[in-house]
Amino acid sequence: MTDQELTLETHSLGAATVEALQQAIAHRRSMGIARLKPDAVDRSLIEQLLEAANWAPSHGETEPWRFTIYTGDSRVALGEAFAAAYQQDAGAGFHEATFEAQKARALMSPVWISIGMEPALKSDGSLRMDLEDERIAVGCAVQNLHLVASAQGLAGMWLSKNIFIHPHVAEFVGLKSPGQLLGFFIVGWPNIPWPAGERGPVSEKVRWAE
Binding residues for FMN: 28-30, 59, 158-160
Find out whether the peptide bond into 178 is cis, omega within 30 degrees of 0.
Answer: yes
Q: What is the dihedral of CA 41, 45, 46, 49, to 10 degrees?
A: -140
> What's phi and psi for 179, nearest 5 deg?
-65, 160
Q: Which residues are annotated as a binding site?
A: 28-30, 59, 158-160
Residue 183 CA to residue 160 CA, distance in Å, equals 4
SS3 content of the chain, % helix, strand, coil (to 5): 50, 15, 35
Residue 173 per-residue DSSP state: T
Order of strands across the sheet that contains 111-117: 65-71, 111-117, 180-188, 155-159
Q: Which of 122, 155, 118, 198 is closest to 29 using CA atoms?
A: 155
Q: Which of 15, 13, 18, 23 is closest to 151 using CA atoms?
A: 23
